[in-house]
Amino acid sequence: MDRRVGFVTGAVVAIALAGVGGWLAMRDQVPRGVPVPPPPRSAPAEQVVVKYASDASAERVHAFERAHGLHLAKELPQIRAKVYDVPVGATSAQVIGWFTSEPGLVAYAEPNGTVQAIP
């Protein structure tokens, strides 16, 4: 009786291992004609759009940028605004607060983002 139990147990283990081996071999295969989704993109860095007040001097702007460790991502000359990356460890709300707490420095400061219309 012990021999039969050992044989059956061995057979069950062999079948289970064969099934796992087959699954491991097939798990990385993609059937033909099935679209493969692109890899996930990393989240975009937070940014803030700032339009300085018309009477804010270039020296004052540069001093403010240096004091807060701001990195200019791009300029938008069409609307006379600048886009800054939010420094590591800060949020866009904090950076906007830095700008708006300086009297006469900015006309506006807001998060940079995209808007999608609802169809």
Q: For the segment 6-21, what is each residue's pLDDT rounded down to a tens digit?
A: 544 544 444 544 444 5
Q: Is residue 107 part of a domain?
A: yes
Phi and psi at 74, nearest 5°, equal -165, 160
Instruction: Identify the DSSP state of 86.
Output: P
pTM of the model: 0.60
**Total domains present in the chain:** 1
Q: Is residue 79 part of a domain?
A: yes
CA distance 103 to 110: 16
Q: Is residue 63 part of a domain?
A: yes
Domain holding 102: CATH number?
3.30.70.80
Phi and psi at 42, nearest 5°, equal -75, 155
pLDDT more than 90, % of the chain: 51
Supply the pLDDT for residue 14: 45
Residues 6+ apart with CB under 8 A from 75: 81, 82, 83
Q: Is residue 84 part of a domain?
A: yes
Q: Is residue 14 part of a domain?
A: no
* 112 neighbors 48 (Cβ within 8 angstroms): yes
Expressed as residue numbers, the domain containing 76 is 47-111
Residue 99: Cβ within 10 Å count? 20
